[in-house]
Amino acid sequence: MNISGTKGCYGCGVCAVACPKGIIDMKLDGDGFYEPEITDTASCIDCGVCVRVCSFRDDRLSAPNKVLESYAAWSREPAVRRLCSSGGAAFEIGRSLIGKGYKVCGVKYDAAEHRAKHYIASTADGLKATAGSKYIQSYTVDGFRSVGRKGKWLVTGTPCQIDSFRRWLRLAKAEDGFILMDFFCHGVPSMLLFDKYISEKTRGWQRVTAVSWRDKAAGWHDSWAMSVDGEMPSEGRLDTNRNAKDGMTAVSSCTRLSQGDGFFRLFLCDQCLGKACYDKCKFKYERSSADIRIGDLWGKTYADDENGVTAVAVFTDKGRAAVEQSGCELTTLPFETVAEGQMKTSPKRDRRYAILGKMIRDKNATIADMTAVLERHDRMMKLSYPFRHPLRMIRNIVMKRILRRKR
């Protein structure tokens, strides 16, 4: 019994980490999502460990805890708050735990490898690479393999990664030294989509040196911004950033969702996500196997705050202790307030899913071609609204007439 033949899974990579023979690797499938591959079937001993740690193959949560407490949180340091996507609470929790002897397994974007990946941070300075959201699937295997079963660890990741990781810890009887933290997850987009976007955005560049997905220069509520930094040959260019040493010029590009950024439009339309994000996600809203869950505290309560506020929910006593000892500014709020604006159920696919999926795989299709599909769909939905909701349309017309008479 093994994970051979598993398709369309979470891509969490824990099966590869848990395999005692080390014969499982995570590869991108034809749609641009990680899935397991047994690299040496003859060496498989059918121990079943890979199946036992697999959250995808179990409809239950590994730790169905209830929310103990929920908070609005933010760092007391303005620089940290500016650096992070929301309020900086995750960074402060990690920094506080490092000060208590913990190591952190978090996610950074590796420009050389052109992917997000888990890594180990043992100092506050090393933790800085985890700051900021990365809206792509992370490669977990090397980072998770570097986590020791002994010692004290904070491990962060998507809810499905954390659920499988807890199963592995339980199998190893090593939960006590760990604090697990996930986040309110929207879903993960195809890496083929991300590659297409970056390739178009950096045409003519020599290399990409950094990517970030959020930028609060225009305020927290307008922080959905794809920023890419890189270098290109400076020959023939009049540029003050020219580096005479290697003949390269520093270049950058930043576009916001509010400006029509193609990546965010496609990601947030919910039609370019992994299959499991639709069919098998059991982690929305308050459903988590972590000790701590974080995210942006969208909604009415902090609608006027442009510095950023983190939504925090804790599910265990050690999760609560880690949050309350983090040094963050904390305001206790009902979970419904903290989670306002977060998804309660998994997204649904519509006719755009198949169209966009085909275009993602088509090397000749551009991001502009794909966003044109969204625009056509929006126009069609607007034109068909009276036919899809006739009673609502009649009610709106009646209400408008009543209001006119009152004037």
How far from 11 is each of 36, 63, 182, 228, 283, CA to CA, in Å?
7, 20, 16, 26, 15
C-alpha dihedral over 101, 107, 112, 113, to 10 degrees? Answer: 120
d(CA 60, CA 154): 23
* pTM attached to this predicted model: 0.92
Q: What is the spatial order of strands in the sheet that 153-156 belongs to?
A: 138-139, 115-121, 103-110, 153-156, 178-183, 292-296, 310-314, 69-74, 329-332
User: What is the signed CA dihedral for 280, 286, 287, 293, rounded to 10 degrees?
Assistant: 100
| pLDDT for residue 200 | 97
- Mean pLDDT in runs of 10 for the chain (407 residues)? 91 97 96 96 96 96 95 98 97 98 98 97 97 97 96 98 98 96 97 98 95 95 96 66 67 96 97 96 97 97 97 98 98 97 96 97 97 94 81 82 79
Separation of alpha carbons 72 and 302, rounded Å: 9
pLDDT at 219: 96
What is the model's pLDDT at position 404? 83
Neighbours of 43 (CB within 10 A): 11
User: Contact at 8 Å (CB) between 136 and 8?
Assistant: no
